[in-house]
C-alpha cells in the first residue's frame, strides 16, 4: 500500500470543516443549486486545492449522487430537505463531509436521527471493532427515533487519491468481519429516512470516475480521456466540469458514451429513496487512533 501522509488528510479535513460552516448560509429558498455547488467548489479552489469529488446537492427523496448539470435552473424550494456532500483533495489526501438543512423546519427529528447516529458511531469506533457492528449502532439509533437507516448506502475507507478504497461501513447491522485498524481512514455517513429504507438508481447520471484507461476511437474521446487522467485521476468528476474542454455538448455526450461502452468509466446514477421517503445525512471523515477516532472534518 502507498505510504499515507496523514497531514494532507488533516489539512483536507480542516478546509472542508471551514467551508462546511461557511456554506450552510448559501442554502436558502429560491437559491440556485448550481450557484451553491460552484460556489463551494470555488471556495475549495481559493484555498489552493481541488474538490475530492463534485459537490452533491440531493433534495428530499434524492439520497445521493446528484450534482447540478451545466446550465441548470433548479432552485431550492421553501420545504426542501437539502443534503450537501463535498470533499477536498490536498495532494491526494482526501476529506468527505456532509450536512442536511431542513428549509421547512418541519423535519428536525429526521435530521436528528442521522446526526445522533453519526455521533454514536464515532464514539463506538476504535481498533478491533468490526464495521458490521458499527452498522448495528447506526441502525439502533435511527430506528429508536422512528425512522429507517438506508441499508444500501454505506460509509467507506479512503486511501491517497482513492475515495472508495474497498471497505464499506454499513448503516445496518451486518456480519462484515473487517476490523478497524489504527491508521485507517474512513468516511462515516448515516442516512435516515421515513421511507422504505433503501435506494434505487435513477436514469440520470451527472457524475463519473475513471475505471480503467484504454484505447478509444474518437479523437474527442481521446482528448477528454487525457484531460480526465491529468485532472482527476481515479476521483469522481462531473459532466459539467468537462463542458469547457469540449467543442460541443453533443461531442461530449458521445465521448462519455464511448468510454462507458468500453468500460473505461464508472457512472454514478442519481439515487432515489425506493418509496419516495425523505432522506437526511450527516458525514465526517475520521482517522482511527489507538483509543478511538480523530475527526478530521470536525
SS3 288: strand
CA distance 286 to 10: 9
* Catalytic pick among 8, 41, 80, 85: 85
CA distance 15 to 12: 5
Q: Where are the beta strands (DSSP E) in 8-153?
A: 50-59, 62-64, 81-90, 93-94, 97-102, 148-149
SS3 119: helix
CA distance 217 to 260: 13
Question: Do 149 and 197 contact (CB within 8 A), yes or no?
Answer: yes
Which strands make up the sheet holding 191-193, listed edge to edge? Answer: 148-149, 191-193, 279-281
* Catalytic pick among 96, 133, 168, 194: 96
* Catalytic pick among 65, 107, 156, 284: 156
Distance of CA 31 to the CA centre of its chain: 21
φ and ψ at residue 277, rounded to 5 degrees: -70, 155
* Catalytic pick among 220, 239, 283, 284: 283
Question: Do 209 and 266 contact (CB within 8 A), yes or no?
Answer: yes
DSSP string, 257-280: HHHHHTT-EEEEEEEEETT---EE
Q: Is 139 a catalytic residue?
A: no
* Catalytic pick among 65, 164, 184, 258: 164
φ and ψ at residue 69, rounded to 5 degrees: -75, 160
Q: Is 283 a catalytic residue?
A: yes
Q: Is 85 a catalytic residue?
A: yes
* Catalytic pick among 80, 133, 184, 189: 189
CA distance 286 to 155: 11
Q: Is 96 a catalytic residue?
A: yes
CA distance 135 to 175: 10
Residues carrying an active site annotation: 85, 96, 156, 164, 189, 283
Amino acid at each position: 500500500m502507498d505510504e499515507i501522509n496523514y497531514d494532507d488528510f488533516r489539512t483536507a479535513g480542516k478546509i472542508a470543516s471551514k467551508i462546511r460552516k461557511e456554506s450552510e448560509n448559501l442554502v436558502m429558498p429560491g437559491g440556485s443549486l448550481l450557484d451553491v455547488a460552484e460556489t463551494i467548489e470555488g471556495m475549495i479552489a481559493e484555498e489552493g486545492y481541488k474538490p475530492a469529488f463534485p459537490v452533491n446537492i440531493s433534495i428530499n427523496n434524492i439520497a445521493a449522487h446528484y450534482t447540478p448539470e451545466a446550465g441548470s435552473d433548479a432552485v431550492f424550494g421553501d420545504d426542501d430537505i437539502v443534503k450537501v456532500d463535498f470533499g477536498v483533495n490536498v495532494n491526494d489526501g482526501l476529506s468527505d463531509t456532509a450536512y442536511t438543512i431542513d428549509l421547512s423546519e418541519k423535519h428536525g427529528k429526521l435530521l436528528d436521527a442521522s446526526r445522533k447516529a453519526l455521533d454514536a458511531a464515532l464514539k463506538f469506533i476504535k481498533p478491533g471493532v468490526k464495521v458490521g457492528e458499527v452498522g448495528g449502532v447506526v441502525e439502533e439509533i435511527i430506528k429508536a427515533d422512528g425512522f429507517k437507516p438506508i441499508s444500501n448506502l454505506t460509509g467507506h475507507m479512503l486511501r491517497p487519491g482513492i475515495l472508495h478504497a474497498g471497505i464499506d461501513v454499513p448503516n445496518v447491522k451486518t456480519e462484515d468481519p473487517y476490523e478497524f485498524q489504527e491508521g485507517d481512514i474512513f468516511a462515516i455517513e448515516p442516512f435516515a429516512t421515513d421511507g422504505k429504507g433503501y435506494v434505487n438508481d435513477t436514469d440520470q447520471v451527472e457524475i463519473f470516475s475513471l475505471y480503467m484507461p484504454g484505447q478509444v476511437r474518437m479523437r474527442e474521446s481521446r482528448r477528454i480521456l487525457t484531460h480526465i487522467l491529468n485532472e482527476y485521476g481515479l476521483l469522481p468528476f462531473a459532466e459539467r466540469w468537462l463542458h469547457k474542454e469540449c467543442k460541443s455538448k453533443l461531442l461530449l455526450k458521445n465521448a462519455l458514451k464511448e468510454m462507458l461502452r468500453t468500460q473505461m468509466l464508472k457512472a454514478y446514477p442519481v439515487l432515489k429513496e425506493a418509496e419516495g421517503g425523505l432522506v437526511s445525512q450527516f458525514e465526517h471523515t475520521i482517522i482511527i487512533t489507538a483509543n478511538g477516532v480523530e475527526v478530521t472534518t470536525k
